[in-house]
Structure 1
Amino acid sequence: MAVLGIAVFSGMDALMKGLVLAIGVYNALFWRSLAGVATSGVPYLLGSHRRPTRTAIRLHVLRGVVSTAMGLLFFWSLGQLPMAQAIALTHIAPLLSLFLAAWLLGEPIRRRTVLASLLALTGVALILIGQGRAELGHGAFLGAMAAIGSAICYSWNIVLMRQQALVAAPPEIAFYQSVIVTAVLALAAPWLAEWPAGQWAVILSAALLTVASLFLLSWAYARAEASYLAPTEYTAFLWAALLGWLVFAEAVSPWTLGGAVLIIAGCVWAAGRREAAPSAQPQAEIP
């Protein structure tokens, strides 16, 4: 389910890259988030749900703020780099999240998980070597820095997904994520927001894919530890390479293919046997 959620999210990335090129990063993210409030609000408000706990509200707000910074940095980098390369740079996030999960959640760091993540990270390094040989220019360098900054935010976001999933159901998480990101972005709306004429079909499609991905990932993170699921993030590169080639005619180099092999190997290795993680208990409070 986590891998499926990543695949759906990668499809949203392809739509957002097109939006960023058409209307800019702020407007692409703001209008998608606003549409996400409507698409996530229907299942949340119509379904049976409890009032969010104080712990859940705190986590919703925190993750919403972190996700806003993460999204602005990442989608700006998508406008500067090929999709596969931007995604590759963000793959330091699962490795960082292993240590954050140990620090914030008290999760054990298994030797298999660390070694598998290092193997996948080697694949990312191989891709970066290829990126350097391509000589994409100063804009690509700034895009790379933005992608790395986004990855740092996303490593925290992975841990927050696990914390949220233990105290809230997927519809609640998806709804409040959309509301808080929209509220943060709306602070700059009087100066930056522009009506996205002709882009509403793409915006609504991106919002639907975002909500679907949040549902899938919330379901997965309620049933497995963040340190166990983190390596599945590496599969995003495979989808980015495919979609970048199909939609934007972005070539996939031998360096990229070699890195992909190592990334897949790391993910398969990390998915070895493990003890069951605590399941979600929405009514519980996290200390």
Structure 2
Amino acid sequence: MAFFVAAIGIGLFSIMDAVMKGLVLAIGVYNTMLWRMVGNVALGTVAWGAIGYRRPSRRAMLLHVARGIVGGAMALLFFWGLARVPMAQAIALSYIAPLLALLLAARWLKEHVSRRTIWAAFAASFGIATIFIGQSRAALGPEAFAGALAVLASAVLYAVNLILARLQSLAARPAETACLQSLVILLMLGCAAPWLAALPPAETLAPLALAAGLAFVSMMLLSWAYAHGEAGYLAMTEYTSFVYAAVLGFVIFGERVSLYTFIGAVVIVAACVYAARRRDIAAQSLEHAA
């Protein structure tokens, strides 16, 4: 059930990515994120109130702040890059996150790094190189290259986010997580509001509300799933997003998936699956740290 719920959450996030790409192209990444977070906080407040407010523990609050900061930076980089590269390519590059999560868990949680994990890291680097070769052959321009680098940087932060998500799900309820994490991101973005904020055009209000709703429901579903399932196992649901990205990118933006992107995605996914020695190892390590 946790795997099924996580897969639905990833599907909704993929649809949200398509909506967000259109908004970033229309009003820029900052204002798209700012106004979406306003909607997320409003929805989170209602949901949290519906189940009853409860003062977060000190541990939970620290995790909310940490994941909010990481998630905010991650989202800004990803959506800025997404506006400059095809959706399928951006999603494929982000697939290195589960592998990086294994390496970070080894660093932070003192987990032994196996030989297969090291080989997987090398294989994933070939997958990334394949995607960049395809990008250069397609002559997408310097902005696309910068966008791909931004997505890679976002993937590094997403790996940190995966570890924090598991720890956070053990310390707080989904509604609390969705509300306070969104609030932290909103406060972070609000620091630049006097210089960058602008009221969104009327035609973008409906897409902004849709993006906020999709992100909120997805966050609730994933928080529930990570509280009831093993992190290493649930991370495999991330790979379903490539299909969503390819279809949505083609239907909405007319993007075609290049052979290089497809091959690179297959190599990265295979490397990540190979590196997952046991599906319960991430959960065991994280629960030990908790």
**TM-score between both structures, scaled by the size of structure 1:** 0.86
Residue of structure 2 aligned with 1:180, choices 168, 179, 184: 184
Q: CA deviation at 1:68?
A: 1.2
CA distance in 2, matches of 1:107, 1:5: 28
* 2:251 is aligned with 1:246: yes
Q: How does 1:252-271 map to 2 (within 5 A)?
A: 252-262=257-267
Q: CA deviation at 1:89?
A: 1.9
Q: What does residue 93 of structure 1 align with?
A: 97
Q: What does residue 7 of structure 1 align with?
A: 11
Which digits, 9 at most, give the CA deviation of each residue in 1:45-64, with x for residues without a partner? 11135321000000100111
Contact 1:120–1:234, Cα closer than 8 Å, also in 2: no
Structure 1 runs not aligned, ≥5 long:
none
Q: CA deviation at 1:125?
A: 4.5
Residue of structure 2 aligned with 1:218, choices 204, 216, 223: 223
Q: CA deviation at 1:249?
A: 0.5
* 2:209 is aligned with 1:204: yes
- Structure 1 residues 118, 39: CA separation in 2 closer, same or farther (over 3 Å shift)? farther
Residue of structure 1 aligned with 2:233, choices 221, 228, 236: 228
Contact 2:96–2:268, Cα closer than 8 Å, also in 1: no
- Structure 1 residues 145, 260: CA separation in 2 closer, same or farther (over 3 Å shift)? closer
Structure 1 residue identity aligned to 2:28: G
Contact 1:63–1:160, Cα closer than 8 Å, also in 2: yes
Q: CA deviation at 1:223?
A: 2.7
Report the more deviating stretch, 215-224 or 175-184.
Answer: 215-224
Q: CA deviation at 1:237?
A: 2.2
Q: What does residue 61 of structure 2 align with?
A: 57
Contact 1:244–1:250, Cα closer than 8 Å, also in 2: yes
CA distance in 1, matches of 2:54, 2:238: 30
Q: What does residue 33 of structure 1 align with?
A: 37
Contact 2:169–2:224, Cα closer than 8 Å, also in 1: yes
Q: What does residue 137 of structure 1 align with?
A: 141
Q: What does residue 169 of structure 2 align with?
A: 165
Which digits, 9 at most, give the CA deviation of each residue in 1:206-244, with x for residues without a partner? 001111111121122223343333343233222211111
Contact 1:120–1:262, Cα closer than 8 Å, also in 2: yes
Contact 2:41–2:179, Cα closer than 8 Å, also in 1: yes
Structure 2 residue identity aligned to 1:94: P
Structure 2 runs not aligned, ≥5 long:
none
Contact 1:113–1:227, Cα closer than 8 Å, also in 2: no
Which digits, 9 at most, give the CA deviation of each residue in 1:70-97, with x for residues without a partner? 1111111111111111222222221111
Contact 2:230–2:280, Cα closer than 8 Å, also in 1: no
* 2:193 is aligned with 1:189: yes
CA distance in 2, matches of 1:162, 1:126: 32
Equivalent position SS for 1:167: coil
CA distance in 2, matches of 1:141, 1:260: 17
Q: CA deviation at 1:135?
A: 1.6
Equivalent position SS for 2:228: coil
Identity, % of aligned positions: 52
Contact 2:96–2:272, Cα closer than 8 Å, also in 1: no
CA distance in 2, matches of 1:75, 1:112: 32
Contact 1:98–1:230, Cα closer than 8 Å, also in 2: no
- Between the two proteins, the alignment pairs up a number of residues equal to 283
Q: What does residue 43 of structure 1 align with?
A: 47
Contact 1:30–1:182, Cα closer than 8 Å, also in 2: yes
CA distance in 1, matches of 2:36, 2:146: 24
CA distance in 2, matches of 1:116, 1:264: 10
